Structure 1
Amino acid sequence: MGGQAKGKKKNKPKRKDHRPNQDVGFVGLSPQERMKLRMHEKAKKKTAEKYSVQQLLEKTQESMDSFDFEMAGLFCQRALDVDSNNLQALDMLGHISCELGHMQKAKEVLLRAVELSPDVGHSKYMNLGQIHTGQEAVDYYSRGIHVLLSALEKQETVAQAAAGAAAAMTDEHHELPTAKDVSVAYCSIAEIYLTDLCMEEGAAEKCREFIERALKYHHDNPEALQLMASYLFSTEKIQEGKQYLLKSVGLWLPAQKESAAPCTTEEDVQNEVPPYESRITTAKLLIESEEYETAVDVLESLLEEDDEVVQVWYLSGWVCYLQWGKAKEQREAEGRGATEEEQEEWKALQEAARSYLTNAKKLYNKLRCDDQPMLEHAEQLLGELGGEMEAEEGEPAVDDDYEPCSDEEEDDGTPMEH
């Protein structure tokens, strides 16, 4: 009996695995990248279980209020991990990214907010305007103003409604616009026509038009008044410009000087004080209009706030030099010799100018700034004043371990422009 050939074993069909593939989305990633992504997902889940989005945004705001933008960015990103379409979180992260100098990230986040809610919330357009220049910036600011005006009109419509309804609207949109916001936005456009687009046809007329609109919505806006002063100075209307400038400074400088008084809170004062960069322009305009003592007050407050800005040291030295020269000219014009008291005053101004300019030059080199005209002018003034001051002669010179400032601070070194 011949043996039969054994039949081949039939392979049993494999059982289908209906469990979800945990590695979907990990294809093509290195082991390190997979581990990082898994850790991120684990942290995201843990965050969602421990904190609500609103709690994370409150933490974000607290960090922003204390100028800890790195920490604010971490809290805000966690909020977006939980709710990627949260408009408040997108707006806040856009602003935080701008503060940290992460402009590409800011653009992506803010444009996402525009995509989700083009007609509600003006702050994203204001931040986009700050990121861009020229006509692009004007376009973003204009869209923001359109949103602002629509919101203000809506507020007027519901003005007679119950207070609770108004509060509900505030919670939903996270921002309640004011006429002052409109004024500030118009100032931003006017400034572009005074700088980036100053050579465009009709730029001067557009600049004045937008400043007047800003003053229409907030007639006591220091920034708008100062912009009008800059505009008038640029058109050789010095006396009229000086009136606007002094009115602008009078709205915030006295309160800032008296901010130590018990009846005045720091928050109240800061709400009225223009931004740091704007106050540098204030000092320049005051020097140009020969309001030297007021310029000194402004510059001293700037140094107390931040002593890492070369231009503020330079302007402080320049104004002391101008005061020194003016005092000598007055005595010579009167045709009499200087008294001992006057000679001491001249020497004090001369030494103050030397000290400020010496620090300006040393800080300039430390920070590797790039403003040759300012450096040359400082050196010229020092030459007339008797040369650089040694550290033991006056106030302490800039520390050798001085840390460089940000790129934005380095860029803010232009001499006397409006």
Structure 2
Amino acid sequence: MARTKRTKPGGRQRAEIAAEKQATAAATAALSTPSSNASASTSQPPVEELLGKAHTLLAQQDYELASRFLARILTTEPSNIEARELLGVCDLELGNVEEARNHFLHLVSTSSDLSSPYLYLAQLASSPQESLAHYESAVRILEVQLKELVEGKETEEGDEDEQVVEKDLRKQISGALVGMTEVYLTDLCFDPLAPEKCDLLLSKALSVSPQDPEAWICLASVRMSQSREIDALSCIEKGWQDWRGKELGDPLIPALPTRLSLTRILLELQKYAFAIELLRGIREEDEEEVEAAYLEGWAWFLWGEEVALLASAEGTEKKEPRPAGVDVGEGDEVPEKKECWEEARESLSVCEVLHRAQNHPSPEVLAHVRELLAQLDAAGIRPAQGIVDEEDLDGMEDGEGDWGDDDDDEDEEMVE
């Protein structure tokens, strides 16, 4: 019942990052380098300001500079839990795995009621058993916090703040149980008890958070590994119904890795149109997400093959409703093979450019993209004009373009 591990989400859109930078420019400008004759008590910005700036830099994915702010905090407040955890996150993003691990281990050794360091340690574990142990520790802490919250409420529903905290705790518990399930779906997939463990863990997750899309989508993956495709479709329906069609940024929309997992299941189920609908939303949110571009091209390619097979077998094009966001063809007819493959060519060409520009760590993706492009070339499907801008690619590879931040100099001064 082996399954593929979920990949880490990619970067965010440039426009979104630029907007965040503009929104914080005024606040950043107000923070200046301390004067040489300042007193010890005012020789640096307050910790709250440094933490705020670190959060802003994390949102902009400037992990290097954020880590310097956080390290500065820890020089004056070594016990600052938030700063140490965020510094661990920065080290993780920068590839400093051992440094990150040490920060999280320090936190769990000094604080008995923190669950998040255990969740990070579960992802950094050297064995599946160690990963499961960290997840279990996180779940125990979260369950105690949830129990205390529920028992302490003055009314059955609690006030608005209590409802928000309770929902978040339930989602965190469910997420940790899903993480444990994925260990059994990957590293422990050959364990004879893996199917039973997966069912028990996800049953518990859904009892804690019945509408958690991540749990439903993970259950769909389990059902696929058990060759229970009809049950998998039922899980997908329950996991997608609450957020399908929502505007970008809606809190009901799950994280990008969860949506990519759903896309892969839809492709396995040969639900190409629905996969493309989902992928178009992902690419609208993050136009530089390599895997989304790859999966969209792969979905169009497979759909084109299916259309050709159906036409050959039935002598006519099959008709079915087209999901929202899939706009090729006319009326309710499935697009023709050529239309599908032209769309595939566009997405795969973009994927190839992004893969090169980002030096993406998945050579197998690039190899498959090039294999598919060669097949499209052989079929006479040529790239449309303007899909790939080589000047933009050169700029990205050279570190140019609109990634610069006019506030970087001020940030550098502030952290000195």
- Specify if TM > 0.5: yes
In structure 1, distance between residues paired with 2:315 and 2:297? 28
Q: Provide the residue aligned with 1:120 in structure 2.
A: 113
Deviation (angstroms), 1:194: 0.7
Partner-residue secondary structure (3-state), 1:84: coil
* Residue segments in structure 2 that go unaligned for 5+ positions in a row: 1-35, 319-328, 398-416
Q: Percent same amino acid at aligned positions? A: 27
Partner-residue secondary structure (3-state), 2:237: helix
Moved more, 245-254 or 359-368: 359-368
Return closer, same or farther for 1:235/1:43 CA change in 2, 3 Å cut-off. Answer: farther
Please show how residues 249-328 of structure 1 align to structure 2 within 5 Å.
249-256=240-247, 259=248, 266=249, 269=250, 271-328=251-308
2:230 aligned with 1:239? yes
State the structure with bigger RCO (CA 8 A, min sep 6), 1 or 2. 2
Query: 1:157-196 CA distances to partner (integer Å, 9 max, x unpaired)?
Result: 43239xxxx99x9xxxx99961111111111111111112
2:86 aligned with 1:97? no
Query: 1:132-156 CA distances to partner (integer Å, 9 max, x unpaired)?
Result: 2511111111111111111122223
Q: Provide the residue aligned with 2:179 in structure 1.
A: 188
Partner AA of 1:76 in structure 2: L
In structure 2, distance between residues paired with 1:47 and 1:92? 25
In structure 2, distance between residues paired with 1:76 and 1:176? 29
Query: 1:334-385 CA distances to partner (integer Å, 9 max, x unpaired)?
Result: 33599x9789844322211122223334544555556565455444433443
Partner-residue secondary structure (3-state), 1:253: coil
Query: 1:89-113 CA distances to partner (integer Å, 9 max, x unpaired)?
Result: 2222222322333222211111111
2:326 aligned with 1:335? no
Partner AA of 2:292 in structure 1: V
Q: Provide the residue aligned with 1:78 in structure 2.
A: 72
* Residue segments in structure 1 that go unaligned for 5+ positions in a row: 1-41, 260-265, 405-418
Deviation (angstroms), 1:319: 1.1
Q: Provide the residue aligned with 2:402 in structure 1.
A: none
Q: Provide the residue aligned with 1:386 in structure 2.
A: 377
Return closer, same or farther for 1:306/1:337 CA change in 2, 3 Å cut-off. Answer: closer
Q: Decide whether the 8 Å contact of 1:283 with 1:299 is kept in 2.
A: yes
2:185 aligned with 1:198? no
**1:396 is matched with which residue: 384, 388, 401?**
388
Q: Provide the residue aligned with 1:52 in structure 2.
A: 46
Aligned-CA RMSD value: 3.7
Deviation (angstroms), 1:278: 2.4
Moved more, 239-248 or 309-318: 309-318
Q: Decide whether the 8 Å contact of 2:349 with 2:387 is kept in 1.
A: no
Moved more, 124-133 or 183-192: 124-133
Return closer, same or farther for 1:62/1:344 CA change in 2, 3 Å cut-off. Answer: closer
Q: Decide whether the 8 Å contact of 1:44 with 1:78 is kept in 2.
A: no
In structure 2, distance between residues paired with 1:281 and 1:372? 20
In structure 1, distance between residues paired with 2:346 and 2:373? 9
In structure 1, distance between residues paired with 2:167 and 2:70? 21
Partner-residue secondary structure (3-state), 1:178: helix
Q: Provide the residue aligned with 2:407 in structure 1.
A: none
In structure 2, distance between residues paired with 1:210 and 1:45? 56
**1:212 is matched with which residue: 192, 196, 203?**
203
Partner-residue secondary structure (3-state), 1:198: coil
Deviation (angstroms), 1:254: 1.2
Return closer, same or farther for 1:402/1:229 CA change in 2, 3 Å cut-off. Answer: farther
Q: Provide the residue aligned with 1:143 in structure 2.
A: 137
In structure 1, distance between residues paired with 2:152 and 2:334? 67
Count of equivalent residues: 345
Query: 1:379-410 CA distances to partner (integer Å, 9 max, x unpaired)?
Result: 44334433486655462356442647xxxxxx
Q: Provide the residue aligned with 1:5 in structure 2.
A: none
Partner-residue secondary structure (3-state), 1:277: helix
Q: Decide whether the 8 Å contact of 1:152 with 1:177 is kept in 2.
A: no
In structure 2, distance between residues paired with 1:309 and 1:222? 21
